[in-house]
């Protein structure tokens, strides 16, 4: 029989990875981090639960950061739910969205809606700033990864633009 007292005493001895760390390891923004970094990062993550159909954020609402899907799925849309809804993407477990809001004060450019009951991890500008102050090495690693990710997207956009112009 398991006793809560003994579980409390020996908590931390069980080194099995938490679901949050497991999810974070799949996200490219957090690549090249060690286990200690992930443990620190996990402490900063905000666990949020949404039920099916809930808005995670709305288009043009002030945005503060990114979400990582731990369980469930979401859709990114433009337009209202009824009628002219235009689905830009459907994202599942381990995928992330809203990362642009980490860098700028611009409002959200689309809606984020839960497709089913889902559990998300939130990582916001404020967390990144605190991380930069408290653990600059980890903060720099994440910033570098985010920079790389945005650079990759810019390169893809440039290719598309060149392709469109050459038509």
Partner 1 sequence: MIEKESNYIQQIYRIILLLIGLWFINLIWPYISDVILMLVFAFLFTTVLLSSVDAFERKIGSRSLSVLAVVAILLGAISTFVGSFISQISQQAQEFSQRVDQNTMAKEFKILGDKITSALPSFMKSEQSSSDYFADKLTEITQAVLGSLGSLVSTVGNFMFIAVMVFIFTIILLSEYHVFKRALVNSIPNKFFEVGLKLIYNIEKSVSSYLRGQFLSAASVAGMSITGLVLLNFFGANLTLVIFIGIIAGLANLIPLIGPFVGMVPALLIAFMNNLGSEAAMDHMFLGTIPSPFFSIDIIFMFLVVQQIEGNLITPALVGKSVGLHPMLVMIVLLIGGTLLGPLGMLFAVPATGVMKVILKEIAFVRKNAHLL
Point out which residues bind partner 1 (CB under 8 A): 43, 46-48, 50, 54-65, 107, 122, 124-126, 129-130, 134-135
DSSP type of residue 111 = E
Of 55 and 103, CB closest to partner 1: 55
Of 62 and 151, CB closest to partner 1: 62
Residue 20 CA: distances (Å) to CA of 2, 146, 162: 24, 19, 40
Question: C-beta of 143: minimal distance to partner 1 in Å?
Answer: 18
Of 130 and 161, CB closest to partner 1: 130
CB 64 within 8 A of CB 124: yes
> For residues 66 and 64, what is the distance between their CA atoms, to the nearest angstrom?
7
* 3-state DSSP percent of the chain in helix, strand and coil, to 5: 40, 25, 35
Of 29 and 65, CB closest to partner 1: 65
Question: C-beta of 59: minimal distance to partner 1 in Å?
Answer: 8
Question: C-beta of 2: minimal distance to partner 1 in Å?
Answer: 24
What token pair was written down for 31? 């690549």
């Amino acid at each position: 029989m398991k006793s809560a007292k003994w579980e409390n005493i020996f908590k931390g001895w069980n080194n099995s990875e938490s679901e949050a760390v497991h999810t974070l390891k799949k996200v490219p923004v957090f690549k090249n981090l060690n286990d200690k970094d992930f443990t620190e990062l996990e402490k900063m993550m905000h666990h949020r639960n949404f039920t099916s159909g809930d808005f995670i954020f709305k288009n043009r609402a002030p945005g503060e950061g990114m979400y990582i899907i731990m369980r469930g799925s979401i859709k990114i849309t433009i337009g209202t739910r009824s009628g002219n809804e235009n689905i830009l993407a459907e994202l599942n477990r381990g995928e992330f969205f809203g990362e642009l809001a980490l860098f700028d004060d611009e409002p959200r450019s689309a809606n984020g809606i839960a497709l089913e009951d889902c559990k998300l991890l939130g990582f916001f500008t404020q967390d990144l700033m605190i991380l930069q102050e408290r653990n600059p090495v980890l903060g720099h690693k994440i910033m570098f990864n985010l920079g790389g990710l945005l650079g990759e997207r810019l390169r893809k956009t440039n290719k598309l633009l060149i392709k469109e112009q050459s038509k």
